[in-house]
Amino acid sequence: MTFKHKSGKKNPRRSGVKEKSPESHEMRLNKYIAQSGLCSRREADNLIQQGKIKVNKKVVTEMGYKVMPGDKVYYGSKLLKKEQLVYVLLNKPKDFITTTKDTHERKTVMQLVANACDERIYPVGRLDRNTTGVLLLTNDGELSKKLTHPSHKVSKVYQIELNKPVTEEDLEKIKKGVMLEDGEIKVDDIATLDPEGKFLGVEIHSGRNRIVRRIFEALGYDVVRLDRVMFAGLTKKNLPRGKWRHLQKKEIIRLKYFK
């Protein structure tokens, strides 16, 4: 059975009839869901197939269904609203937790970006409490999924200060791969940044929890300072610690077409 639109007529985009107005504001249902901040577009497809999405109180399972102006989209009893997509870059300081809430009343990064926008944004990935540097926050569920999924191998660059100089032997071990409790990990690149060998730069694409710290801890080092200086091509250049800025249009385009 063809799903009827709320007017009682077939959706003109699915019946092959062109709309009279040249300025259509219709949108694919999965994109609408993603832009509501609920989830990624692929996850939205799953919700649609599972019959968990309603348009105007009627279940829609048709892939490619188009939402029209005035339509109301529901996930369960929750009314979804397409939001303006927002992209905020934060230079995270120490002692802030990368989460939207904290039951122990610790400081979170959301306090630092409270005045950035009216939309509900959330961190893309995590930085632990004592790690500083580049952190992206957005309500773009599709982009967030893309940047955190292991298959996309998003590059991150860190600057590290150790409690003691790294030995050449350990540097070679890290280059070849270090075995941790959850499997072997290899960095993409590593180099010392000072003659003594206490400061290093590391490029890695793994998103495993506390992965950089754990690499060095496995070899007997303490990480004194850990600063993420680049994430998916974004840097904190000219952005003071604890401050944020909106991404430029060209930066957003690069992220969306990042492969």
Catalytic residues: 128
Distance of CA 223 to CAs 101, 176, 229, Å? 27, 20, 16
Q: Of 256, 238, 232, 228, nearest to 109 (Cα)?
A: 228
Q: Of 206, 215, 67, nearest to 149 (Cα)?
A: 206
Helix (H) or strand (E) holding 161: strand 156-162
Bridge partners (DSSP) listed for residue 172: none
Token duo for residue 6: 């709320």
Bridge partners (DSSP) listed for residue 27: 67
Q: What is the residue whose two structure tokens read 């007529």?
A: 9
The helix, strand and coil proportions of the chain, stated in percent and rounded to the nearest 5, come to 25, 30, 50
